[in-house]
Structures are given as C-alpha cells and as structure tokens.
Amino acid sequence: MKIGIIAKPNIVEPLDITQKLSIWLKDRGIEVFIEKDLGDKIDHPDSVDRVDIPELVDVILVFGGDGTFLGVARLACKHGTPILGINLGGLGFLTEVTVEELYPMMERIIEGDYEVEERQMLRTSLHRGKNTIETHEVLNDVVINKGAVARIIDLAIHIEDSHVTTYRADGIILSTPTGSTAYSLSAGGPIVHPKIPVTIITPICPHTLTNRPLVVSSDMKVEIQVTTHEPDTYLTLDGQIGVRLNTGDVIEVKRTDTSVKLIKSPFRDFFTILKTKLMWGERYGKIDR
C-alpha cells in the first residue's frame, strides 16, 4: 500500500506529526510519499511535488482545514484517489478526522476497513465571444462578485437555455451540496445533504428581495451572463482561483462526471458534524430566577 501526505503550507504542526506517522507506516510495510516542501523539511527520502502525489498513491492524507482539502481535491479527482482530511484545529466539514483519531483511522485504512463517499463536482467554463477561455472543476462553489468596490452588478441567469431572471445583486454563488455549508450558507442558502444531486443558486444581497435561492438538478446546464458594465467583476472558484470578467462573458456550470472520493470518518456522521459546527442545541446562557 502507498500513502501520500500533503499539508497546509507554512505551518509547523504537520512536521512532527508527519515524521512520526511516516516512521509508524514504514514499520508496517507502507510506502510513504510526502509533498516536497514538507518532505524536505524532515529529510524524507520520497519527497515529490504535490501535483504528482495523486497518481503515485492509494490514499492521500491532508493535514489542514477545508481550504487545504479543496486544493488537493481538484488534483486527486483526476486520478480517483481517495482523500482523508485531518483537521489541525476544530472539525471541518471536509476534514472530519481529528489528530487524536489519526492512528486508529490509519489502522482501519491499512486493514481496508473504511468507507468512501463520492462528492459531486461542477465543471465551470468561461466563454468569451466564441472562445472558451478557461475550464475548471470545483468541489465547493463558483462565485461571481465585485472586487474592492461594493456595487450592484447585473447577471442574467439561464437554465437549460431558458432565461430565468436577471439578478441585480452584489454577486451570485453556484454551489454543490458539499459547498452548501460554506459561502452559500453565509449568503442565506440552504443546507443540502452531500448525497443529493443538485446545484444551489444563491444571490448575494439581491436588490430585489423576491430573488431567493434556487435549487435545480445538477444535470441542468446553468449559464450566467455578465451584463453589467461595472469594472472589476470576478469569477472565483472554490475561493482559490480568481479570473477577471468582461461584460458579455458567459459562465457555464454543470455537473461533471468526475467526483472527489472522500474517506468518511467512522467516528461521526454529517449531521453530527453539522450540529457541532453550527452549535445547534447549545445553550448560550443561564437565567437565574
């Protein structure tokens, strides 16, 4: 078995964890590949570039938060490599396993006693005139909004070639179920279970209050045309890739056949994480009578 390790850059905590874990895995006959920046710091013999790890290993361990996981997910999905997210702080929606649970989880992985859940992705294509400028796959969300100056922009929405509306808003979020607990939730979008095949369309502070979030089948093609003449309008993918947009640009979004394989935590399910992260059922104070 071959294990890859990738960590959030420029933090110290993964160094000690990775060094001890790589020795532990080697003692059990497991080959370990570590991303170069991290591996070089601990003098690991098999240090390779991050982009090469998914095709070399059977499982990838990601140390960090959900943001680190998103970046790795876009690399791993092309090879179908399962990912286990280990959170170095509190629980994440994607990094479900804590550092304390790492070794029990690794024993399960070595024994093959683990469950993989496939998470839907969206393919996003930017069309400018007759040309396709860029195409990306995202796990969380596609966001169109303004840059530094907060002004309303106009975005025409077509679903399956049918014009739905033209949003006048600060922007718009197209989210997968996985991304429903991220930016979309902050903008008033619904929480959607990861297994439901839908795309969530959430306007950001719409000028017309009747423009509410919309949930459609993920198999439907959604197109957003930038009709505003405001400069500095941007397309942001998973919060990590940014592209400046021009008036008339069309962003096409649809479910892709590619998916991210996430190794599920055996210690808690989606609803437990949801309650923990959102503090549902918590009592914030006691009234003395």
Token reading at 167: 């949003």
Sequence ranges of the domains in the chain: 2-115+264-278, 121-257
Superfamily name and number for 2-115+264-278: Probable inorganic polyphosphate/atp-NAD kinase; domain 1 (3.40.50.10330)
The per-residue pLDDT for 286 is 53
Could you give the CA distance from residue 201 to residue 106 in angstroms, rounded to a whole number?
38
Could you give the CA distance from residue 133 to residue 164 in angstroms, rounded to a whole number?
25
pLDDT-derived band at 283 (thresholds 50, 70, 90) equals low
Nearest to 141 by CA among 207, 94, 208, 205: 94
Digit-coded pLDDT (tens) for 95-137: 888 889 999 999 999 999 999 999 999 999 999 999 999 999 9
- Residue partners of 14: CB distance under 8 A and separation at least 6: 7, 8, 38, 63, 64, 88
Is 150's pLDDT higher than 80? no
Confirm or reject CATH 2.30.40.10 for domain 121-257, answering yes or no: no
- Which residues are part of the catalytic machinery? 66
> What is the rounded average pLDDT of the residues 19-48?
93
Digit-coded pLDDT (tens) for 51-79: 999 999 999 999 988 888 999 999 999 99
pLDDT-derived band at 282 (thresholds 50, 70, 90) equals low
Q: Answer yes or no: pTM beyond 0.75.
A: yes
Q: How far apart are the first and last CA of the chain?
A: 62
Digit-coded pLDDT (tens) for 41-55: 889 988 999 999 999
